[in-house]
Amino acid sequence: MSLTPFTKHYANPESAAGAVRHYRWITEHAKPLRQPALLTVGPDTLTFERIEGRSVRPEDLPRVAELLGHAHGAAWASDLRSASLDTPHHFQDGTMFDDHLGPRKLALRRRHERGYLPNKAALHAMLGLLEATAQGPCAFYKDSNPRNFIITSTQDIVAVDTDDLSLAPMGYDLAKLIATLHLTYGPLTDGAVANALIAYNAAARRHGARLGTTDRGRLDGFLALHAVLTAPYVGRNGYHYSLPLRFSHRGIS
């Protein structure tokens, strides 16, 4: 028996059109990342193949890390080789990815205004960390949290919710997955994080000699940023655990 397709509604036609462009960009440039088939495009709706399965769990981290490494490496080799992390990336079909720095600077300032950063010194430390880690080859950010991947009964991994993409450094989206697994299931072991990074780097390196160089200090810097950026969602959307800053980045207090 075939499954009923899944229809997603958007606030306006522009949002739906942007989601289609991003979906097609991943299909063309990040081929290792499987998505549900896009069946129908309406004015403000998209209808997808329904995928049955479960969300990612901590034991899936090495496999998903490897998949992200391949997807990011393929995208760099195909289209992001000339992209810059401080400049929005435009495509011939009208697709645009936000740059890495601008939106996250704004988000950090908003976290400070809402009390998630205790003072201006902490804000400046996070802004400095953002600048310091915005280096190297470009990847893309798709908000890799456990709910945005489906593990099927045949153990295939399917990526969902690719509506909003932005530029990001290699390893940044892996850090988001690690951070949100922690928020969902509790602290991960140091060995689990290290093994995920090894898998990610090995996969990325297959797509270019410049890739696969994210080290643990850099990953910890990304985790520190995610600790602040995800703080408003603790206690919501299945995030039962907090992500202390001291967990995320050695030397940041």
pLDDT level of residue 86 (50, 70, 90 thresholds): very high
248: pLDDT strictly greater than 80: no
Domain regions of the chain by residue span: 53-248
Tell me the mean pLDDT in the region 211-224. Answer: 95
* Gap between the Cα atoms of 201 and 206, Å rounded: 9
Yes or no: say if 74 and 80 are a contact pair by the CB < 8 Å rule.
no
Nearest to 140 by CA among 75, 213, 88: 75
pLDDT single digits (tens) 15-68: 999 999 999 999 999 999 999 999 999 999 999 999 999 999 999 999 999 999
Tell me the mean pLDDT in the region 87-115. Answer: 89
pLDDT single digits (tens) 24-33: 999 999 999 9
pLDDT for position 249: 45
116: pLDDT strictly greater than 90: yes
pLDDT for position 245: 59
Report the topology of domain 53-248: Aminoglycoside 3'-phosphotransferase; Chain: A, domain 2 (3.90.1200)
pLDDT level of residue 90 (50, 70, 90 thresholds): confident
In degrees and rounded to multiples of 5, residue 114 shows phi and psi of: -95, 5
Which position has the token pair 């011939």? 92
247: pLDDT strictly greater than 50: no
pLDDT single digits (tens) 123-134: 999 999 999 999
Tell me the mean pLDDT in the region 89-101. Answer: 80
Nearest to 27 by CA among 78, 87, 89: 78
Percent of the chain's residues with pLDDT above 70: 94
Tell me the mean pLDDT in the region 191-203. Answer: 98
Distances (CA, A) of 86 to 39, 75, 172: 35, 18, 15
Nearest to 159 by CA among 58, 41, 44, 70: 70
The helix (H) or strand (E) run that includes residue 7 is strand 6-9
Which position has the token pair 């998949």? 67
Tell me the mean pLDDT in the region 172-179. Answer: 98
Say which residue, 85 or 243, is predicted with more confidence: 85
